Structure 1
Amino acid sequence: MSARGESLGVDRLVQLPAGPLRYWERGEGSPVVFVHGLLVNADLWRHVVPVVAGAGHRCLAPDWPLGAHELPVPAADLTPPGLAAIIASFLEELDLHDVAIVANDTGGALTQILMADHPERIGRVVLTPSDSFERFFPPVFAFLPWLARVPGAVTVLSQVLRLRALHRLPFTFGWVSKRPVPPAYVDSYLGPSRRDAAVRRDLARFLRGVHRRHTLAAAERLASFDRPVLLAWAEEDRLFPLSLAHRLADVLPDARVVAIEDSYTFVPEDQPRVLANLIVAELAPGRR
């Protein structure tokens, strides 16, 4: 395992109605909650959290049950709306108010559902490239919900992904990260599903529930979300083109788009300093 506490802070555990959730906390001040996507975990934010915490914010980075988590939640509703409800229950359990949500990839889809269904504790949102509208999943990953319906297929996939030669292909990390993810963090992301059948079952349950109807339904209700939203999008993204950010900005009442150069979907991996500085600026006093 990677030395996660060195950058993410103190390792904590919270018991939610859905089950146990592991998270890391660093800094003091206004709360910032990070939402990663499929088959990654809190390590995605390892270079972002120190900068944001150092600017005077309380950063909370959970391992959401999206296949790279170590604490299975066999009784949880892991449909996309169910995951959004888990995020809402995390905010409620920790009694967080006026929260800044920072999300990436699949986590951005879940955050859009959260904004539509559970907006009460949210103060503002930073969305990096994310599943949106009809792109949930994007075409290169559209096979995953179908694969998850085949008995044993998720187990086979988790073992096949041991092969590092595959990690730069489009259907793995090749189109989400412009630069190779360091091997220790690939292992952090892919190890839990490889080692634990209960984690694989969680992953399969989530994958089977993925459908564009969830993001399309959320988009229809986002016009009522009147808090500030920063769309910090990668110009070169191959999965979620910049046009998606502009479509979201057209729906949201208070949104602006900032294009980030030299990055694919995983902006926290490719351009963490740029993203961290944008978050800090967005949370500055007086910013609307």
Structure 2
Amino acid sequence: MSDTATIELPAGILDYTDTGGSGPTVVLVHGLAMDGTVWRYVVDELSETHRVVVPTLPLGSHLRPMRPDADLSPAGMAALLGDFLDALDLHEVTLVQNDVATGMLLAVSDAPAVARIARLVLVSVEAFDNFPPGLPGRTVWLAAKLPGGVNAAVQPLRIAALRRLPLAYGLLSRRTVPRPVTDGWVRPLVHSPEARRDLTAYLRGARRGQLQEAAARASGFDRPVLVVWGADDRVMPLAHGRRLSALFPRGSFLEIPDSRTLIPEDQPTPLAAAVRDFIAAPGSGTPTPER
């Protein structure tokens, strides 16, 4: 991974990494209670030929708290991602999202930043009625409804062995995420009240029906979309991936064997190859005009 930089957005200061270079721009977006290091292997695979930008969104594992009045609901998080693309003045972006639906919510929105997206890659993401997704998502979502609930839910993550439980990260990958990586994910969660405050704001802003509404708007995003799903996913139903790809006018679907939700951890080389081929495919290089 490249050295971490910062950028000031309306919601607050965001950390990100940027490999630089003149190749096609790829923006990799992580999920809940993790940071950009989930993409470290994919960054290594793509960085020689692509500019790879990886923001750390305020989803619990971030080091810089957002402004107290920031809108950190799922829709607000999508707007924050759009502000990030605008602030870096990125163009013809291949936006790659894993786990949460932030990238999809941005792509189907009316935000001006949508014009910056040339292609969208959805990698085992929450969709339809699977929101919050699976056992770990619903557990922390319910905890957020109670005063101090998120704090109580995350404190056991101090113990590395407990991170592999189904209520934590255990269902998300077939392979154990290295402890130094998960140490970085959980440290803000267990030590920073502000990080927990931001995560709680996101969870309390999540509402049922939001992703059905996003799916209904998918036909309006007429740029190439690749939906990639782990064949052994225990959190995001495989049928959702196929159904999601069919909603986009230029959608396609790829199933990756021997992987669960965190395909960047389980199968980073096939995933990077799929992104590389998707970008290079004939007809995938020109976004539609700005809405």
TM-score when normalising by structure 2: 0.92
Residue of structure 1 in register with 2:124 after alignment: 129
CA RMSD for the aligned pairs?
A: 1.3
1:99-121 deviation digits (Å, cap 9, x = unpaired): 10011001xx1111101113221
Pair 1:219-2:211 in alignment: no
SS of the aligned residue for 1:167 comes to helix
| Separation in 1, partners of 2:257, 2:208 | 28
Change (3 A) 1:143 1:173: closer
Q: 1:51 aligns with which of 37, 45, 63?
A: 45
Match for 2:78: what amino acid? A
Residue of structure 2 in register with 1:114 after alignment: 106
Q: 2:36 aligns with which of 36, 42, 51?
A: 42
Pair 1:77-2:75 in alignment: no
| Separation in 1, partners of 2:10, 2:119 | 25
Contact 1:16-1:89 within 8 A present in 2 as well? yes
Give the fraction of aligned pairs with identical amino acids, expressed as a percent: 40
Structure 1 runs of 4+ off > 3 angstroms?
none
| Separation in 2, partners of 1:179, 1:137 | 23
Residue of structure 1 in register with 2:53 after alignment: 60
Q: 2:176 aligns with which of 177, 180, 185?
A: 180
Q: 1:138 aligns with which of 133, 138, 144?
A: 133
Residue of structure 2 in register with 1:245 after alignment: 241
Contact 1:145-1:209 within 8 A present in 2 as well? no
Residue of structure 2 in register with 1:254 after alignment: 250
Q: What runs of 5+ residues in structure 2 fail to find an aligned partner?
A: 285-291
CA shift for structure 1 position 75: 2.8
Change (3 A) 1:219 1:269: same
SS of the aligned residue for 1:237 comes to coil
Residue of structure 1 in register with 2:289 after alignment: none
| Separation in 2, partners of 1:11, 1:21 | 10
1:117-158 deviation digits (Å, cap 9, x = unpaired): 132211001111010011111241323222112111212222
Q: 1:16 aligns with which of 9, 15, 19?
A: 9
Q: What runs of 5+ residues in structure 1 fail to find an aligned partner?
A: 1-7
CA shift for structure 1 position 10: 2.7
Contact 1:39-1:189 within 8 A present in 2 as well? yes
TM-score when normalising by structure 1: 0.93
CA shift for structure 1 position 27: 3.6
| Separation in 1, partners of 2:202, 2:228 | 26
Match for 2:4: what amino acid? D
